[in-house]
């Protein structure tokens, strides 16, 4: 099992950051390089506990499908998505949010395992872990860009 632990600071209220983090529409923007699109389940708006989304994207020279379910959610504190179907043997992403005086801290914890035994473990360590971490950093930078400017208003229906 491989793990990724990433911490990101965003100068915006926790409610805004939490909602942008579960926005299907903003996720599509953050993954434009891989042409990621929602093709089943929740396909737009804010995903909620118990809901699923199936993503189609091009990763590692191949079109792939990945279905995840929001297995738990505590409003403005955390949510967890877990793979139900896809190329990983297992994949779990915990998103944690902490309000601080001048903004919000996001803590991402990802545990994943590739198939193919020892070869999969080696691939994780040599390539896949860095690849996934780079995707997550890019995603969080997009959330930061939208949360810290007026761009967030295009995705959320309330005005803070």
DSSP 3-state of 3: strand
Per DSSP (E only), the strands in the chain are 2-10, 37-41, 52-59, 62-74, 78-85, 90-100, 103-113
* CATH tag, 2-154: 3.30.530.20
| Contact between residue 10 and residue 106 where contact means Cβ atoms under 8 Å apart | yes
* In the chain, domain spans: 2-154
Degrees to nearest 5, angle at CA 153 with 58 and 6: 50
Q: What percent of the chain has pLDDT over 90?
A: 81
- The C-alpha atoms of residue 54 and residue 63 are separated, in whole angstroms, by 13
Structure confidence at residue 143 as a pLDDT band (50, 70, 90): very high
How many percent of the chain have pLDDT more than 70? 98
Whether 64 shows a pLDDT value over 80: the answer reads: yes
Exposed/middle/buried for residue 79 (C-beta within 10 Å: 0-12, 13-18, 19+): buried
Residue-wise pLDDT for 76-120, tens only, equals 999 999 999 999 999 999 999 999 999 999 999 999 998 888 888
Specify burial of residue 115 (Cβ count, 10 A radius: 0-12, 13-18, 19+). exposed
């Amino acid at each position: 099992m491989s793990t990724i632990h990433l911490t990101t600071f965003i100068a915006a209220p926790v409610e805004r950051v939490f909602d942008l983090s579960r926005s299907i529409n903003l996720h599509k923007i953050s993954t434009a390089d891989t042409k990621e699109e929602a093709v089943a389940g929740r396909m737009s708006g804010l995903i909620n506990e118990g809901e699923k989304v199936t993503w189609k994207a091009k990763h590692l020279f191949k079109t792939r499908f990945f279905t995840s379910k929001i297995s738990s959610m505590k409003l403005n504190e955390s949510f967890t998505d877990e793979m139900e179907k896809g190329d990983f043997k297992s994949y779990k992403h915990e998103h944690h949010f902490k309000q601080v005086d001048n903004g919000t801290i996001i803590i991402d914890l990802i545990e994943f395992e590739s198939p193919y035994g020892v070869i999969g473990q080696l691939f994780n360590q040599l390539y896949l872990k860095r690849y996934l971490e780079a995707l997550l950093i890019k995603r969080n930078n997009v959330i930061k860009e939208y949360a810290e400017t007026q761009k967030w208003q295009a995705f959320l229906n309330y005005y803070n």
